[in-house]
Amino acid sequence: MNPSRSCLVMGNWKMHGNLADNAVLLAGLVAGAQRAGHAQLAVCVPFPYLVQAQQALSGSAISWGAQDVSVHAHGAYTGEVSAAMLADFGVSWVLCGHSERRALHAETSSVVAAKAAAALSVGLTPVVCVGETLSDRDADNADCVIADQLEPVLALGADALAKMVIAYEPVWAIGTGRTASPEQAQAIHSLIRAALVQHGSGATPILYGGSVKPANASALFAQADIDGALVGGASLVAEDFLNIAASAA
């Protein structure tokens, strides 16, 4: 990690949680937030729990975000949630194009870019997720897949790119217990950085996501182009999440 850039450690709760368990987790994060040192902490929670996150985290050093956003500002789109609605709950971040959304909801890279633009239109920071499957990697096609996923996002322009975050999450390492080696992760992060530089926004943070744990966080954060982590399962355990953040020191 480049010492001139801050570290962002963001939790993605996915479809986990209930009011009682969330209260314990959020209280634990607030109580231990100072352990994160210079790392910035954030959690992306399911839509129903945004108000709980807002109430628990307001005034703390921890920000909160959503896991998805509609491309539409308003209208007859039952079940959709607009960026302006998210902003009503003090949201700072919104995940766009998580691999599970791409795979299970057929979100194309163009749709992901449109969601990022919708988030930006109301002052939210989109966290645009990219990543290859195991078959892509085995076919030595990871670089092309990442480039294709980034293309419509890069087309939004330097001003937009400067206000977003990119998260590289190799699909084969999400929830599998497998993790890209620090060198494998750095190789893709370097590719992403080069594309961002080419489009005038080399300082855009790039997070690594994929079975990040306290045991491997330090080695990942030591890489030149890894600016933090998008943490899945370990973000549901306050101690683990805080230990990951502390590894950025």
| pLDDT tens string 208-245 | 998 899 999 999 999 999 999 999 999 999 999 999 99
Contact 156, 194 (CB under 8 A): no
Q: Assign 1 a pLDDT band (cuts: 50, 70, 90).
A: confident
Q: Which of 100, 107, 132, 169 is catalytic?
A: 169
80 catalytic? Reply is: no
First to last CA, the chain: 10
> DSSP of 27-87, one letter per residue?
HHHHHHGGGGTT-EEEEEE-GGGHHHHHHHHTTSSEEEEES---S-SSSS-TT---HHHHH
Task: For residue 228, give the 3-state DSSP assignment.
Answer: strand
Torsion over CA: 184, 105, 129, 23 (sign): negative
Q: In terms of pTM, does the model score above 0.85?
A: yes
CA–chain centroid gap for 166, Å, is 7
Task: For residue 100, give the 3-state DSSP assignment.
Answer: helix
Query: Residue 200 pLDDT > 90, yes or no?
Result: yes
The per-residue pLDDT for 78 is 98
Q: Which of 98, 100, 132, 199 is catalytic?
A: 98
98 catalytic? Reply is: yes
Q: CA-CA distance, 113 to 151, in Å (whole number)? A: 9
Q: What domains can be seen in the chain, in order of their start residue?
A: 8-246 (3.20.20.70)
Tokens of 243: 């230990």
Q: CA-CA distance, 99 to 112, in Å (whole number)? A: 11
HSE of 244 in the Cβ direction (CA atoms, 13 Å)?
31
